[in-house]
Amino acid sequence: MNNNNSSSGRKPQSEVISIEPYKKRRDTSRVSVLDEYDILGYIAAGTYGKVYKAKKTVNSTSKDDNLEQENKIHKINFNSDEDIELDEKVSKENELKHSSSFTFDLNQIKDSVSRSEEQTNNSSGENKSVHGGINETFNSTNKNTFKNNYPKKQKRLLINEGDEDILLNINSGQEYKPDLDHNSNNDDDHDNGGASIHKVTTINDLIDAKRGEIDFLRKQENKNKEDNNTNNDDDEDESSIYQTISHTLQEKRKKYKANIIAKQNKLLKKQEEENKLNSLKPPQFYAIKKFKTEREGFEAISYIGISQSACREMALCRELNNKHLTKLVGVFLENKSIYMVSEFAEYDLLQIIHAHSHPEKKYIGSKMLKSIMWQILDGLSYLHQNWIMHRDLKPANIMVSYDGCVKIGDLGLARKFNNLIQSLYTGDKVVVTIWYRAPELLLGVRHYTPAIDLWAVGCIFAELISLRPIFKGEEAKIDNKKTVPFQTSQFKRILEILGTPNKEEWVNLEKYPEYANLARFPQYKNNLTNWYLAAKGDDKTALELLNKLLIYDPTKRIDAENALSLNYFNCEPLPSLNIFEGLNYKYPPRKIHVNDNDIIGLINSKQAKANQQQQQQQQQQQAALQSSSQKPQNGLNGHLSNVNPGMIQQKINEMSHPSQVENNLSLLTEQQKKLYLKAESDLIKAAEKKLIARGETQEAIQHHLKLIRLKVAEETRKKILTQQNINKQKHVSEISNALDFDETLPVAEQFQKLSSILRSSLYRLLSMFKIPYNTTESNPELMKKMEKLQPFRTQFTTLQMKELSVIKFCYQKERQLKQQLQNNINLQQAYRSNSNQTQQQDQTNLVSNNTNKNIDLEPLMKKPKI
C-alpha cells in the first residue's frame, strides 16, 4: 500500500465533519418527553431546574404497543385462513403443503413486520427480497385458484388480492388505504411518520371486518351443509366435490379459527383486566426532574457540560433498585435539558413534620415514627451495601408515597466509595446540609465513612420526635478565599445537647484538622436524655437508637444494618410497610404550581412558530390598516377645518403640556421635521382663514391655533409610533375599540367590561416597565404596583400615556356607573316605600348583585388616582 503523508495540508475546519450527520439522524428519531407524559405542574424549583408532576399520556404505554403487534400477527393469521379456504378445492395433500408453507411464510412475515417497525425507512435490498418472496407464494396460490375457476370463489379471490396488498403494505411500513384500487395503491406517497398510527387503526378495523366475514362464511357453510344433508345426489358434481373436501376440512378450519378467536379473546380479556386494575388504582403519577443545562445569558458561555450532580444521579439511579429509593423510570435528553422521570411521591418528611407542628404541635404517633425510621434505615442499608454514600440526607429529601412507603430521594450528592480515584474531600469540599452534618465533617475530616449518613438519620429521627431540628445552627458561609470555615454555631448546638466529647469516647479526636477550634469550647454535659424527655418521649428503645445514631466517634456509630436489628424495631408496635397504617388523618398533598408547564421550551418553540405565523398575519393586517388609516390623515385639512370645540377641550385634558410638541419634534428626522413644519403652517393658515371668516375674536383664534398645533403634534407622533412599533399600535387600536361600549347594556355587564379593560391596560402598563405581575392578583394589588410607576411618570411615552388615559377613563366611567346605581337604588327604595315589591323583585336581585360588585371595586376607588 502506498502510504501517503496524511494531514499534509490543513484545510479549513468548517469543511470537516464533526458530529452533524449523526446529530441529524438522532434528532429526527427522538421521542419527546411530552409524547410520553402530560405535565400537570411543577412541585419544586431550585437552581438545578424544576421538578414537575406528570401523568403518562394515554397513547404511550408500552403494553399497548405489544398488543398492537400481536394484533398484526393475528391479522396475518386470518389472511392465511382465507387462503386455506381458497385452496379447498385443491387436493388434501396440496392443502396441507400449502398450510405448512404458509406457516413458514408467517414466520417470515412476522420477522419482517417487526423489522419494518424497527426500521421505518426500509428501502434496503433485503427487505425487498422478503417481500418478493411473499409475493411469489401468494401468486402461486392465486394461480391455483384460477385454474379451478369457480365463479363463487373468484369473489373471494378478489378479497385475497386485496389482502395481499395489505400484507405488502404492512411489511413495507406503508399506509394502507382500503378504498384504493390495488394498482394505484403502490404509487402513493407513503413516507411519513404519521403512517404508523393510521396503520394501526386500519388494521384493527380490518380485523373486525374479517371477523364479520368469517361469521358470515360460517353461516353460509352451515346452510350448505344442511342442504347437502337433505338432497345430496341432486347437487352438481363440482360443488359436491367441494362440499366433501370442505366437510373434511371444516373441522380443522373451525379449530383454527376457534383457536385464533380464543387467543384474541384472551388478549382482550387481559387488556380489560389490566384496565380494571388500572382504574382501581389511583392514577400513576410521575415526577420529572428537569436539569437545566443551558442557562440564559452570561453563563451560557462558560457552560461546561452536564453538572456532576446530574451525572451522578443518572448513573447511580439507573443501577439502583430498591423499594425505599425513588425509582428512576426513564431519562430523556432533549432540547439541551435532561429530564429524569421517576415515581411521584405525594409527601416528604418536611411536609409531614410541618403538618404536625402547625397550627399546633401534635407529636407523631409511635408506630408511624417507627415505620418511618425502619424504612429509612432499610433504604440506607441498601445504599451502603452498594457502596454508595448519600451525603445529603434531610427531611426534605425523604419522600413518602401516597400509600405510605418511604423513599430516599435526590442522589445528586451521592457517591460510590469503593475504589476511590480521587479522595472524597477533593471531590466536594462541603457535603450534607448544615443541620444534619456529622461532627467529623465539621472537624474537617478528609476521609469520611458512610457513618455520616447515619448521623443525619439520627438528626432526622430527633426531628421527627420533637418536630423541630435538633441541632439548628447557623451556617458560616465560605469566604472569598474559598477555605472552608469552621462551623462554630453548629458545633456549639451539638455540644449543648450531646456534651463535650473526650478521648475515650472519640479515639482519634485530636487528629482532626479542626481540633484546635473544638478545644476552645467550654465543657458541656450530655443532655440527650433530658432532651428526649422534654420532647415527651417515653420509649427507652427509641432513646437507645437515638443514642447509638448520635455517637461522636464515626467508628463506633451504629451502621444501618445493625440499627435495623435493634430492640426498638422488634418490640410492639412493630413497624409496618405503610407508615400511614391506622391513621385516619390525611396530610395535605403537594402544592402544584401550574403557571409554568412549559417543561421543555418545546411548547415554546412550537408556539414560537405559530406566533411567527400569527405575527406575519398581523403585520399584513396592520399594513392593510395603515394604508387605510393614512387616507384620513392625508385629508387632515378637511378633518381639522371642522374642529369640534368639545373634542379639543378633551384633548387639552389629555395632552396638557406644550412641551410635548417639542418632544415630538425631537423624535423626527430632519426631513420629517421640514415636512412636518410645512404641513403645520399650512394647516394653521387654513384654520386661521376659516376662523377669521367665522368672525371670531383675536384671542379665540390664538387659542384655537394653539390647540390645532397640539393636535397636529399628536397626530405626527402617532404616525411615528405606528411605524416604530406596529404591534403596540395594535393594542392601542384595540383599546380605543373596546372603549366605546354600549351604554344600553345592563349595569353589571358594563362593570365587568370596565374591569376587564382596566385590568388589561394595567397589565400592559406594568409590563412596559417590566414589573412582575400575576394573573390572579386583584385590582388593589395591581394598584399598589402602579404606584411604583410614579417616579417614571415624566418619562412616559404616548403609548403609556394612552394606557394611563384609558385607566383614567375607566375610573370616570366607574364613578358614573356608581352614581347611576345609587340613583337606581334610591329610586327603587322610593318606589318600594310607595308600593309592594311584587313586580320589582327581579330587578332588586339584579341590583343586589350589582352592589356586591360595587363593594369589590370599592378599595379600588379609594386608591389615589394617577
Cα gap 508→440, rounded to integer Å? 10
Q: Are 683 and 634 in contact (CB under 8 A)?
A: no
Tell me the window of 345-353, 385-393, 647-655, 785-793 that interacts with another protein (CB under 8 A): 385-393
Tell me the window of 6-14, 188-196, 489-497, 735-743 that interacts with another protein (CB under 8 A): 6-14
In whole angstroms, how close is the CB of 321 to another protein at the nearest point?
7
In whole angstroms, how close is the CB of 62 to another protein at the nearest point?
15
> How would you class 208 by CB atoms within 10 Å of its CB: exposed for 0-12, middle for 13-18, buried for 19 or more?
exposed
In order, the DSSP letters of 462-522 are: HHHHHSS-SS-PPPPPP-TT-PPPP-HHHHHHHHHHH----TTTSTTGGGSTTHHHHHTSP
* Site for another protein contains 170 (CB under 8 A): no
Q: In sequence order, which residues have a C-beta less than 8 Å from that of residue 749 and are 6 or more positions away? A: none
Which residues 116-145 are close enough to bind another protein by CB under 8 A? Answer: 119, 121, 123-124, 126
Closest-CA residue to 736 (of 803, 653, 815, 793): 803
Residue from 275, 386, 633, 837 that binds another protein (CB under 8 A)?
Answer: 386
Residue from 47, 231, 418, 795 that binds another protein (CB under 8 A)?
Answer: 418
Tell me the window of 24-32, 237-245, 354-362, 435-443 that interacts with another protein (CB under 8 A): 24-32
Taking the CA atoms of 443, 447, 451 and 456 in sequence, report the sign of the dihedral they define.
positive
Residue holding cell 371670531? 696
In terms of phi and psi (left: phi > 0; alpha: psi -120 to 50; beta: otherwise), the region of 696 is: beta
Cα gap 832→837, rounded to integer Å? 6
* Site for another protein contains 25 (CB under 8 A): yes
In whole angstroms, how close is the CB of 669 to another protein at the nearest point?
41
Distance between terminal CA atoms of the chain?
88
* Site for another protein contains 333 (CB under 8 A): yes
Site track 429-448 with another protein (rule: CB under 8 A), x = hit: --------------------
In whole angstroms, how close is the CB of 304 to another protein at the nearest point?
5
- Of 3 and 795, which has the nearer Cβ to another protein? 3
Active-site residue, from 83, 165, 392, 453 = 392
Catalytic residue flag (residue 392): yes
Closest-CA residue to 762 (of 803, 815, 728, 733): 803
In whole angstroms, how close is the CB of 116 to another protein at the nearest point?
13
* Site for another protein contains 17 (CB under 8 A): yes
Which residues 269-308 are close enough to bind another protein by CB under 8 A? Answer: 293, 303-306, 308
Cα gap 616→544, rounded to integer Å? 73
* Site for another protein contains 321 (CB under 8 A): yes
- Of 311 and 602, which has the nearer Cβ to another protein? 311
Site track 499-538 with another protein (rule: CB under 8 A), x = hit: ----------------------------------------
Side-chain half-sphere of 444: how many Cα atoms within 13 Å?
15
In whole angstroms, how close is the CB of 12 to another protein at the nearest point?
10
Residue from 13, 634, 697, 836 that binds another protein (CB under 8 A)?
Answer: 13
Q: Which three cell numbers stand for residue 190?
A: 407513503
Cα gap 453→423, rounded to integer Å? 18
- Of 415 and 711, which has the nearer Cβ to another protein? 415
Q: Could you give the maximum distance between any two Cα atoms of the chain, in Å? A: 128
Phi, psi dihedral angles at 618 (to 5 degrees): -60, -45
- Of 25 and 862, which has the nearer Cβ to another protein? 25
Cα gap 458→598, rounded to integer Å? 39
- CA-to-CA dists, residue 750 to 129, 738, 741, 843, angstroms: 74, 12, 8, 16
Residue from 55, 263, 416, 719 that binds another protein (CB under 8 A)?
Answer: 416
Residue from 159, 336, 442, 711 that binds another protein (CB under 8 A)?
Answer: 336
Cα gap 843→852, rounded to integer Å? 14
Residue from 217, 314, 684, 701 that binds another protein (CB under 8 A)?
Answer: 314
- Of 416 and 753, which has the nearer Cβ to another protein? 416
Taking the CA atoms of 573, 575, 578 and 580 in sequence, report the sign of the dihedral they define.
positive
- Of 128 and 689, which has the nearer Cβ to another protein? 128
* Site for another protein contains 420 (CB under 8 A): yes
* Site for another protein contains 388 (CB under 8 A): yes
Residue holding cell 380443522? 252
Taking the CA atoms of 365, 366, 369 and 370 in sequence, report the sign of the dihedral they define.
negative
Residue from 58, 280, 421, 830 that binds another protein (CB under 8 A)?
Answer: 421
* Site for another protein contains 15 (CB under 8 A): yes
In whole angstroms, how close is the CB of 441 to another protein at the nearest point?
18
* Site for another protein contains 19 (CB under 8 A): yes
In order, the DSSP letters of 288-313 are: EEEEE-S-SGGGGTT--SS-HHHHHH
Binding site for another protein (CB under 8 A): 1-7, 10-11, 13, 15-19, 21-23, 25-26, 30, 119, 121, 123-124, 126, 293, 303-306, 308, 311, 314-316, 318-321, 331, 333, 336, 338, 385-388, 415-416, 418-422, 427
Active site residues: 392
